[in-house]
Amino acid sequence: MIYGIPTYDLPLMAAVAFLSYLIGSIPFGLVLTALSGNGDIRKIGSGNIGATNVLRTGRKGLAAGTLALDGTKGAFAVFCAFVLCPFHTLAAESLAAIFAVAGHCFPVWLKFRGGKGVATGLGCILALMPGVGLCCCALWLIFAKVTRISSAGAIIAFAALPLLMIRPGRIDFSSPAYVAGCLIAVMILIRHHANIIRLLKGTEPRIGQKGA
């Protein structure tokens, strides 16, 4: 028994994980740019399917739509877990958050070459831990605005996530929500490894800078 979940409920948890992965793997950035006549977003700029790269097309509306939809799918996956697992809600929601971000980062439809999980991760954290999610959003926006580098804001926000989840006077490292937050942070930071190298070299593109 893990987190109080009996063996007979494990298939349901597996179904939540699978459903969340499918929800997270919907490539909204790719779909929106294709429908708008802007071609394959994977052939523009960094080749990423996220909102920051969509912005390099010069279409702010498409970038905003991608950001909103990628965030919404993360929150929606957590909500589905809440509905499907009323008896193990926190564990199910935490599992859904992990797999929604994994789906975005490694979608089977795109040969496991997806986005970097920032918007989807923020959507998951907002649904799972609203206060912590708002703090992450604030950090992302502040540092992205100050540096004009979206990846810098994302890296700071998710590097801080494990600390933001610690409640005053209480550190519950075994909580499924804490474990989920840490795994999501690690996943997103790993997906930003190339950005971290470019930041250290001073060659990371600025927000709105068009790709070749």
pLDDT for 65-106, tens place per residue?
999 999 999 999 999 999 998 888 899 999 999 999 999 999
190 CB-near residues (< 8 Å, 6+ apart): none
Tell me the one-letter amino acid at 6. Answer: P
DSSP reduced 3-state for 104:
helix
For the chain, the domain total comes to: 1
**Does any domain span residue 95?**
yes
Which range has the top average pLDDT, 8-12, 22-26, 39-43, 111-115? 22-26
- Look at the pTM and tell me if it is higher than 0.85: yes
**Does any domain span residue 160?**
yes
Structural domain of 114: 7-201
pLDDT for 122-172, tens place per residue?
999 999 999 999 999 999 999 999 999 989 999 999 999 999 998 765 667
Per-residue DSSP letter, 8: G
Q: Please, are residues 190 and 166 in contact by the beta-carbon 8 Å criterion? A: no
